[in-house]
Amino acid sequence: MPASTHLRTPVHPLLLGGLVLALVGFLLLPGSFASKLLTLVAGVCAQRPAHSYFMGGVQLPLEARMGGIFAGFLVGVLYLLWTNRERAGLLPPPPLQALLLGFVALMAVDGTNALFYDTGWPSLYPPNNAVRLATGLLCGLALALLAVPVLSATLWRDWDFEASLASLPELGWALCLLALVQLATMSGAAALLYPVGLFMIAGVVVAFAVGNTYAVVLISRHERQASTWAQAANPLLAGVLIALVELAALAAFRYWAEAALGLRWVA
């Protein structure tokens, strides 16, 4: 068969091999699937039981606030895909930018309030997981709607000259998706353990990958060269692979620090 007729994959073989090795390594980890999810993101989150939701008696891999942030980020990315704005390269109009930054500030206020409460300083209200989750979801959504356009304008040759979010009604649909995640997480239903847990984990990988892909494109000097998803596959999957390596390194560092330095998170 002539060389020109060989089937070629748009993904670099080293990337495919790395992703396969990462998957195999995850599957070979000891313990239950739920414990493997906890291990995967151990370096990202303290995983304190008192700050976490349980579904069917099993702890979710991320605490309420952190799980909310990453689940909200994934909701934002999925919302952009759903509305065909994954190539939108402009930030929302200034009033909506201010509102989104307000969501981030709201999460920061709740986190500061919880810190003050835990340390005995004056606080506004007793912290609770429902508020941690809600403010985390809002923060994650805001970060996605602000970060993805920056990546899009760098990755795509023909990025769309439109905003990731153009109006309050559009934001309302995204908020409805957040409400579904909030209700599912708070339900405690055993049947939703893996759907919710995997959604959070996927949010972690996607959030890390967005930043990594942006760095890969800039470092490799391949700005605005992708016109199709096939052409964007290598930088995007490189971002995912780097994210998995980062998660493994962070988890290893946490376990080393706990064993060697005696560090432990309090409940």
Domain ranges in the chain are: 62-246
Q: Residue 30: CB partners within 8 Å, gap ≥ 6? A: none
Dig out the tokens for 141 from the structure.
């959504």
Burial class of residue 145, CB neighbours in 10 A (0-12, 13-18, 19+): buried
Q: Using an 8 Å Cβ cutoff, are 233 and 13 in contact?
A: no
pTM comes to 0.93
Q: Is the pLDDT of residue 3 over 90?
A: no
pLDDT in tens, 178-233: 999 999 999 999 999 999 999 999 999 999 999 999 999 999 999 999 999 999 99
pLDDT in tens, 35-77: 999 999 999 999 999 999 999 999 999 999 999 999 999 999 9
